[in-house]
Amino acid sequence: MVTWDRIPLRKPSHVSYTNVVHRDLTLILSFLVFLIGGIYFGYSIAFIQNDKALSTTFKWCTIPSVLMAAYYGYRATFGYNMKVAVWRNVLGLLALTAICTLMFLKSFQGYLVFYNCNLGTQRKILIKGQIAKLDYPKSKKPFNNYAVVIITDDNKQTIKLDVPTNQYVVGQLFEKELTEGSLGFLYSR
């Protein structure tokens, strides 16, 4: 038996390290594939009504995200047969659940954008209006969005639209043909 600072390090008789590694790799890879796919789909559209996508994601995907995150958090904390204090496992479970929930929500948002833009009924709409407000980050970082708030000419509807560049100014006329996807989010590629 190997010891380190008087704590015996030994393999429990019922745990096979090859199964643990295989099981863990399966969980990690499925988590990464889901995350990367969702983030890719979420940022692959140039013009998108992201606020509507985010609110739909919260309505539809909060419970599945929390459940999936709790599962991953449990597997990372209580899922191992180690001599760790319960309060540390509980704290780790809560922290991992919160962090993973946010990541799953962002990924689900990307999958909803993908569904909206590629499946179901698509309808072309010409948006004409004036830019009323700019929502730009102070400095561009990865995954930051530029957004403009447009007040349409015909019915004075307010539309917040994520745009690919910061080349817009308040008061500028905005005219673009957008597509209303199957979930009701406006977009253009």
The pLDDT tens digits of the residues spanning 82-106 come to 677 888 889 989 999 999 999 999 9
Predicted pLDDT of residue 31: 92
Q: What angle do CA 40, 136, 188 make, to 5 degrees?
A: 45
pTM for the full predicted model: 0.81
Mean pLDDT over each residue of the chain, to the nearest integer: 86
Residue 48 clears pLDDT 80, i.e. is over it: yes
Owner of token pair 């594939």: 33
The pLDDT tens digits of the residues spanning 61-80 come to 999 999 999 999 988 888 77
Predicted pLDDT of residue 14: 53
Question: Topology of domain 123-188, per CATH?
Answer: OB fold (Dihydrolipoamide Acetyltransferase, E2P) (2.40.50)
DSSP letter string over 115-140?
HHHHSS--EEEEEEEEEEEEE--SS-
Residue 144 clears pLDDT 80, i.e. is over it: no
Predicted pLDDT of residue 13: 52
Predicted pLDDT of residue 30: 92
Where along the chain do its domains lie?
A: 16-118, 123-188
In which band, very low, low, confident or very high, does the pLDDT at 11 lie, cut at 50, 70 and 90?
low
Predicted pLDDT of residue 2: 53
Give 63: exposed, middle or buried? Use CB within 10 Å, 0-12, 13-18, 19+: exposed
Higher pLDDT, 21 or 158: 158
- Angle of helix 50-77 relative to helix 17-42, nearest 10 degrees? 170
Pairing status of strand 47-48 against strand 7-9: unpaired
Predicted pLDDT of residue 70: 94
Indicate left, alpha or beta for 19 from its phi (over 0: left) and psi (-120 to 50: alpha).
Answer: alpha
Residue 177 clears pLDDT 90, i.e. is over it: yes
Predicted pLDDT of residue 180: 95
